[in-house]
Amino acid sequence: MASFHEVCMNVLKKVTPSPEEKAKALAIAERMIRRLQEEAEKLNAKITPMLVGSLAKDTWIRGNQDIDIFMVFPQSYSFNEIGELGLKLARRATGGLGEEQYAEHPYLRANIEGFTVEFVPCFEIEDPSQMRSSVDRTPLHTRYVKERLNETLKGEIRLLKAFMKGIGAYGAEIRVGGFSGYLCELLIIHYGSFGSLLNESLKWKPGHVIDPAKHYEDHEKPRKIFQSPLIVVDPIDPKRNVAAALTLQKFNEFRAAAKAFL
């Protein structure tokens, strides 16, 4: 019977994007960012396009064809302006490709060479007090994670994401009620490895608190504020529980799967 380490190494080989896949994704992202910059100059728009999400952090798993590009606008723009201008810039960058989607702002989703590229407008912020939409935090999340990763941790995150997918617990959408990609990244940064997380999760009880940035002096206050099976205080925003979407069912399923896997 293969050891825990052998199983993990075999899985890691399967879920790590090939150099060719990685190069193609980054080339598309770089090309779109360059075009956004060119189009912004033509329209005299002050934006900073940036790659965010798992591709930017190099924590994506093979077969995940998503590329997230944020168009970061200064606070001097209005809420409506960044939606309208963001769409115009994205359409010009893609040469007219893509369909308009709706969240807090309209944004563009385009299929480019087999990858789903999303162009999302947001406001530039330095801390959560400046937030005008929930996506404004995303560039800060990307920066926080990137600053704390090395190649080993990237592999451990890929193992955790693959494990979550395997047990049907990956994703913060309502229909899943599971672990988001950002939550997986924070858990590995906190515990140091996939194996350590699985072992420590066996000790969790509903209401378990993880506060990476130590925003709170003790764990009682976040328990009272958030009241959820797992509380992971966002290191960027102390008023946000990164695990808010996690249901008790998925919390228990993850712990049961961890016990069975160890």
Query: Going residue by residue through the chain (262 aa), what tens digit of pLDDT does each one get?
Result: 779 999 999 999 999 999 999 999 999 999 999 999 999 999 999 999 999 999 999 999 999 889 999 999 999 999 999 999 999 999 999 999 999 998 888 999 999 999 999 999 999 999 999 999 989 999 999 999 999 999 999 999 999 999 999 999 999 999 999 999 999 999 999 999 999 999 999 999 999 999 999 999 999 999 999 989 999 999 999 999 999 999 999 999 999 999 999 8
201 lies in the same domain as 127? no
Task: Provide the domain limits for residue 194.
Answer: 151-261
Handedness of CA 49, 52, 58, 63 (dihedral sign): negative
Q: What residues contact 29, with CB distance under 8 A and at least 6 apart?
A: 51, 55, 67, 69, 117
Could you tell me the CATH number of the domain that includes residue 243?
1.10.1410.30
Kindly state whether residue 144 falls inside one of the protein's structural domains.
no
Please state the pTM of the whole predicted model: 0.96
Q: What is the mean pLDDT of the chain?
A: 96
Structure tokens at 55: 């591709």
Residue 5 structure tokens: 């380490």
Query: How many domains are contained in the chain?
Result: 2
Write out pLDDT tens, residues 146-193: 999 999 999 999 999 999 999 999 999 999 999 999 999 999 999 999
**Is the domain of 62 the same as that of 111?**
yes
Tokens 């995940």 sit on residue: 64
For 66, left (φ over 0), alpha (ψ -120 to 50), or beta? Answer: beta
197 CB burial (10 A radius; 0-12, 13-18, 19+): buried
End position of a domain, from candidates 105, 132, 159: 132
Nearest C-alpha neighbor of 121 from the set 87, 155, 148, 95: 87
Same domain, residue pair 116 and 185: no
Domain boundary among 77, 98, 132: 132
Strand extents, DSSP E, the chain: 48-52, 66-73, 99-102, 106-112, 115-123, 208-210, 230-232
Q: Could you give the CA distance from residue 46 to residue 133 in angstroms, rounded to a whole number?
A: 19
Establish if 137 belongs to a structural domain: no
Provide the CATH number for the domain around residue 35.
3.30.460.10
Q: Which of 104, 132, 160 is the last residue of a domain?
A: 132
Instruction: Decide: 68 and 55 in contact? Cβ < 8 Å.
Output: yes
